[in-house]
Amino acid sequence: MKINNTLFTIVLTLLLVACSSSDSRYSISNDVGPDKPIQLDHIEDAHPVYEPFSRGGNRDYNLRGGSYKIIKNPDGFKQSGQASWYGKKFHGHLTSNGEIYDMYSMSAAHKTLPIPSYVKVTNKDNGKSTIVRINDRGPFHGGRIIDLSYAAAYKLNVVDTGTANVEIEYITTKPQPSTLNPTKALLSYSIQASSSNHEDRSKSLAQDINQSLSLETYIEPNNSNFRVLVGPFSNYSESEKVLQMLKTNGFPQAFIRKNNL
């Protein structure tokens, strides 16, 4: 048991320093953006849904002389400070809860909010705001309160400046008491693979996904846009597996959303 606890501590420490480490696990020493970034304008905010806190990344910890206590009840949490971002150096590596960091996803790192969490981030320098999903720990530089993915930083115009003055606000996703009613608790999930204002292209893409990956697809009009959706799925675990398949087959911007039946 002592050996297992020691091993767990070592692994946890490696994951916690993911956003700031300079060790040899990474192929490049200094973090940069992608060499040939994909088009990001169509990527939507993260969609807050209820998710149980993960087993990994939610223990109080000590790092570099600092002591960090995970916030157990973040309802109403707000914080102001500097945002930074992380990109290519960490792309494809593990986040603090064991997920794979994707610089094209709308995610972020925070020192003490529970994982996963959703927060609204407002760039106070230009008024832009977006919603991200917290799945990592950091940043551990003085004055910085959140480390944005490359995609989220792009949305807030933080890529060029490197840092920005922001305010973050926790978004509550806890089920409300009314959801205990079985007739209101039925949920399903779909995966949005793409969104475009070209109906013909969207239909063609949906057909390609269906034929090449053997996945059920459908189109959902949304004002002048047409969303290409995969599913629906009856449970979140199933949709997570398909999401990883899509991400490794040319859809790094795909994300899971909840459908109310």
* pLDDT tens per residue across span 211-250: 778 788 889 888 888 899 998 888 888 889 899 989 988 8
**Residue pointed to by tokens 């999930």:** 189
Split at pLDDT 50, 70, 90, the class of 53 is confident
This prediction's pTM = 0.60
pLDDT at residue 29, rounded to an integer: 53
Hey, what amino acid is at 184?
K
The CATH T-level fold of domain 177-260 is Alpha-Beta Plaits (3.30.70)
Number of H helices, E strands in the chain: 4, 12
Hey, what amino acid is at 202?
S
Q: Is the pLDDT higher at 88 or at 176? A: 88
**The domain made up of 2-171 is a member of CATH 2.60.40.10:** no
pLDDT at residue 188, rounded to an integer: 86
Looking at the chain, the domain(s) classified CATH 3.30.70.1070 span 177-260
Hey, what amino acid is at 45?
D
Mean pLDDT, all residues of the chain: 82
Here the tokens at position 250 are 């040319």
Nearest to 43 by CA among 196, 184, 171: 196
- The answer for residues whose C-beta is within 8 angstroms of residue 180's C-beta and 6 or more apart is none
Nearest to 222 by CA among 255, 253, 192, 252: 192
Q: What is the pLDDT of residues 59-76, one digit of tens each?
A: 999 988 889 999 988 999
pLDDT at residue 76, rounded to an integer: 95
Here the tokens at position 96 are 């603090």
Whole-number Cα distances in Å, 158 to 31, 32, 144: 15, 13, 13
Hey, what amino acid is at 128?
K
- The answer for residues whose C-beta is within 8 angstroms of residue 29's C-beta and 6 or more apart is 22, 89
Nearest to 189 by CA among 115, 261, 107, 101: 261
Question: What is the separation of C-alpha 68 from the centre of its chain, rounded to a whole number of angstroms?
Answer: 21
Looking at the chain, the domain(s) classified CATH 2.40.40.10 span 2-171
C-beta separation of 89 from 150 below 8 A: no
